[in-house]
Chain A
Amino acid sequence: MLTANEISKSFAGVHALKNVSLDIRPNEVVGLIGENGAGKSTLMRILAGTHQPDGGTLMLDGQPLKLRNARDGAAHGIGMVFQEQSLLLNLSVAENIYLGQEDQFVRFGVMNWTRMRAAAKRQLAKIGVDIDVTARTSELTFAARQMVELAKALTLEETVSRPLVILLDEPTSVLSGSDIDVLFKRVRSLKSRASFVFVSHRLDEVLRISDRVYTMKDGQVVAEHRASDITGPELHEIMVGRGLQASYYKENKQLPPRSEIVVDASRLCINGAFHDVDLQIRAGEIVGIAGVVGSGREEVTRAIGGFLTHTGGTLKINGEAVHFRRPQQAVRKSIGYIPRERRVEGLVMFLSIAENITLADLSSVMRNGAIDYGRERKLASDWIRRLRIKAPGPDIACRKLSGGNQQKVVLARWMTAGSRILILDHPTRGLDVGAKEEVYELVRELSSQGVAILLISDTLEETIGLSHRVLVMRDGAVTAHFDAAPGRKPDQVDLVRAMV
C-alpha cells in the first residue's frame, strides 16, 4: 500500500538514512526497531511528510507520492502519533483532537463547540475509550493522552476515503505494562481498518504486536522478518550488528586504572529516581552505566555532575564528602560534564572557539585583571592543533563547526579548566562514524592521563567497548557489575539480561 523506495536523507552532512526501502501492506502492523540514532524517527517523519527525502521515492498504491508537509501526509491518510506527545496541554481533549481541523465546526465565523465535542466523543468511541472531552489535556494520564493522540489520528477516516496508515513512534515509552496491553488491544481491533507502523526499541513489544519487523542500523534497513519467525535475542543480535571491534574502541590503549579512588558514591539515593547506588571510579578509569530509559542511570550521572542533589547516602570526590546543589559546585571540584545536547548545554554557539574553551576558567588567560586576547587565542590554537579540531582559526563561531569538532571544543574547555573527572553523557550522539572514532581516541588519551570518566551512551556496544567496568541499572538500582578489561569484554546479551 505505502512503499518507500531507496529513501536517503542527511542532516548537516551526516547520513540519517541511506537507501532505505520498506513496504506497508493493507491491514498490517509493521514493526520497526533499531537503536537510538539508527534512523527510525527520521524514516517516520519522511513517511508522515514532515521531512522530505534527499533521494528516493514514496509510493502510495503504486502511484508516486510527494509529501511537502504533515498536512499533505494527512490528506493521503497518513497520520502520526508522536513519541513526544504532540498534544497541547492547555487545551481541552476535544480541541486537541480537532486542532487545525476546526473549519468543519465553524458557521458564519462562530465555532459550534457542542458539535465539536460530540464529534470528539465519537472519535474516542471508535477506539472504545471513555474520556471526558471537555477535560484539560494536562489533567489526563499519559496513557489517556496516548488514546487521545490515537483518536486524533483516526479523524482522518472522515476526511480521507482510503484506509489509513498510522505511524506510532515509540508510543509505549511512557506507558506502563497494563496501559500497553490496552493500546495493543486497540491497535489489533483497528487493524481491519488501517495499517500501522510501530516503532520501539523494546523488542518483546514489537514482536508481540507486529506482523512483520524491519530492523534498522546506522541509517539502513538491515533485515526484514515475519514476527513469527524470529525471537527477541536473535533480533537483538541483528539490531546491535557487527561484533565488537576491538580497534574501533581503541582497546589496545585501554590501560589499567590507577589506584586512587576519585569518585566514591556509597548507598547514594535520590527519592523516586534511584537508590543505594555504590559507584567508585579510579583515576584513569572509565566506568560505563548501562540501563534502559527510567533505569535511573541518567539521574546518577546528573547527581554526580551537580544538577541533582542526592537525598541519601554519601558522595565523595577525591576523598572529600560533597553535597552538590548546583553544577557550579561540581565544576569547582574539577568535574566536567560533556552533555548530549551540544546546542543547548554544550557550547554557546554565538561565541568563538576560543571564548568557549575559556568559558569554565578564564584565569589562565587573564593578565592584570583583564582578558588577554593574545593568550586566549594562543591557548585555543594549541587545543585546535592538539585535538585536531577542523577549523580555520580560534575566532570562528562554534555554530560553524561540525558535531565532532564541537564536541572536541567542549572537551578542550574542561581540559583547560583542569577537570580530573569527566561525565560523558551520550558523547557521540549525532556524530558520524569517523567523528565517533576521534572522540574515542580522545577519551582514551584523557583516561591514560589519569582522568576519571563516567560514561552513559546510546549503545551498549560503545559502553562495553570504552569502559573498564560496566554497571547495569534497572528500576533505580544497580543489578550487575561487569569487568570489561581489554580482550575480556562482557557479552551484550548478559548485560541486556540484567537491564530488563
Chain B
Amino acid sequence: MTINAQNIKSITKSKQAGAMPTVGGRLFGRPNLKQLRAYAPLLVLIALCVLITIANPNFIELRNLVRVANSAAVPLTLAMGLTFIILLGSIDLSVEGSLSVAAMVTVLLATNDANANSFGWLAVIAAIAASTAMGFVTGVIQTFLRIPSFMATLGVWFIGLGISVYMLGGSAVRLMDPSIRDLALMRVLGLPVAVWVALVAFLLACGVQYYTRLGRHIMAIGGGEDVAELSGINLRRVRIMAFSLAGFFFGIAGVLAAAQLGRSDAVIADGRLFAAVTAVVVGGTALTGGEGGVVNTLIGVLIVTVLSNGMILLGISPYVQQTVQGLMIIAAVALSLDRLRLKIVK
C-alpha cells in the first residue's frame, strides 16, 4: 500500500493543526502550491504592508506601527477566544455581550464617577470571572439544552448587552482607577501595556491549543465529532471548557477596552464581533472546524488592523472601509475552502 495520490489532492492547508513544532521544517521543505496556500495569509499581510508603505510611507514609521499594535490588542485577545470556538466547528456570537459585561464590571467596581466602589485590581479579576462564567453558561446551554451554538450565543450576546447597559444606567461611566488606566497609558519598551497583555494572551492561547489535552480535543471534535466521541472524549466537557475559555479571553479584552477608552458605555463593544470573526477567518481557520489555529488568527488580526490603519492613512471614507472589510471576509472564505469537497452550506 502506498500513499494514495487520489486522497492527497484534497486541499492540504498544510497543517496548521497540531503542527506548530514542525512548521519550521515545513518552511524549508519543497515549496508547492498547497504549502503556498498555507502561508497565503502571511503573504497577504506582507503584501499589504508593502503596498500601504508605497502609498503612504508614514505607515512604516515607528509611531504608526505602535498605533497598529495598540489597536490590534483588543481584537487579538477577542479573536484568541473565538478561534477555539471556530476550531470546534461552532460559532460564538456572544463576543460583544461578554466584552461589554467585562468592561461594565471593571468600571463599576473600580474607582469611577458613578458610584463609590474602589476595588482596584479585584475589579479586573471580577470582570474576567464574570465573562468566563458567561462562557460557561453558554456552553451549558449549548450542550445540555442542545441548542445550536449560533442561537445560544446570539441569545447570550443580547443578554450580556442588556445587562451591561442596564447596570451602566444607559450612560457612559468613567474609569478613574489610575493603575487600571495604566494598561493603556503606561508603556513598556515603547509599547502600551495592553499590547503586552494581548501578547501574553496569545502565548497562553498557543499553549492551550498546542500543549494541552483541551486543545487537542477541540481539534479532534472540530475534525470529526463522532471519532472524538468514540475515542472516549467527553464532548460536553470539552465544549463547555472551550466556551469558558473563550469567555475568559473576552473578559481580558473587555478590561483592555475599558482601560483604552477610559470608560464603559452602551457602544463599547460595537463592531467587535465582526472584526474578530473576520480576523479568525482571514487568518485561515476553517469555519467547518478542525483546521487552523491561534497562530493563523494572529496573522488574521494583523491583516485586519493593518488594512484599516492603511485605509485611514490613505484617507478613505469609513463607509468604504466597512465595505472593504465585508468584501475581505467573503474573499477569505471563498479562497480558503476546498469548494469541491463541500456542499452548499445552509
Contact = CB atoms under 8 A, between A and B. Distances in A.
Given A339-B230, A348-B224, A355-B219, A399 B19 contact: no
A359 B6 contact: no
Contact of A391 (B3, B8, B19, B211): B3
Interface string B221-236: 0011011111111100
A75 to B, nearest CB: 25
A402 B3 contact: yes
B207 A370 contact: yes
Contacts of A330: 232
A481 interface: no
B220 interface: yes
Contacts of B210: 371
Contacts of A371: 210-213, 216
A352 B3 contact: no
B12 interface: yes
B7 interface: yes
Interface residues of B, number: 36
Contacts of A490: none
Interface string B291-307: 10000000000000000
B2 interface: yes
Nearest to B221: A348
Interface string B1-23: 11110111010100101110110
Nearest to A393: B22
Contacts of B22: 395
A401 interface: yes
Interface string A387-429: 0001110011101111011000000010001000000000000
A162 interface: no
A12 B219 CA distance: 26
Interface string A326-343: 111011100001010000
A361 B19 CA distance: 19
B3 A348 contact: no
A345 B8 contact: no
B290 interface: yes
A350 B7 contact: no
Interface in B77-136: none
A12 B3 CA distance: 10
B225 to A, nearest CB: 9
A402 B8 CA distance: 10
A35 to B, nearest CB: 23
B232 A351 contact: no
Interface string A193-217: 0000000000000000000000000
Nearest to B5: A13
A408 to B, nearest CB: 10
A369 interface: yes
A370 to B, nearest CB: 4
A500 interface: no
A1 interface: no
Interface residues of A, number: 46
Contacts of A391: 3
Contact of A328 (B10, B207, B232): B232
B4 A12 contact: yes
A347 to B, nearest CB: 6
A62 interface: no
Residue of B210, B220, B231, B232 with most chain A CB atoms under a 10 A cut-off = B231
A350 B291 contact: yes
A369 B212 contact: yes
A138 B207 CA distance: 49
A373 interface: yes
Contact of A346 (B12, B18, B227): B227
A422 to B, nearest CB: 13
Contact of B17 (A345, A352, A359): A352
Contacts of B226: 344-345
A362 interface: yes
Contacts of A344: 224, 226-227
Nearest to A373: B21
A111 B226 CA distance: 42
Given A327-B230, A360-B232, A434-B1, 16 more contacts: A12-B4, A337-B230, A339-B230, A345-B230, A348-B227, A350-B17, A350-B224, A350-B290, A351-B18, A352-B15, A355-B18, A371-B212, A397-B17, A400-B7, A402-B4, A417-B231
23 contacts: A12-B4, A13-B4, A328-B233, A344-B224, A344-B227, A345-B226, A347-B227, A349-B224, A350-B291, A351-B219, A351-B290, A352-B18, A355-B18, A355-B220, A359-B228, A370-B212, A371-B210, A392-B3, A399-B7, A400-B4, A401-B3, A413-B231, A417-B232
Interface of A: 12-13, 326-328, 330-332, 337, 339, 344-352, 355, 358-362, 366, 369-371, 373, 390-392, 395-397, 399-402, 404-405, 413, 417, 434-435
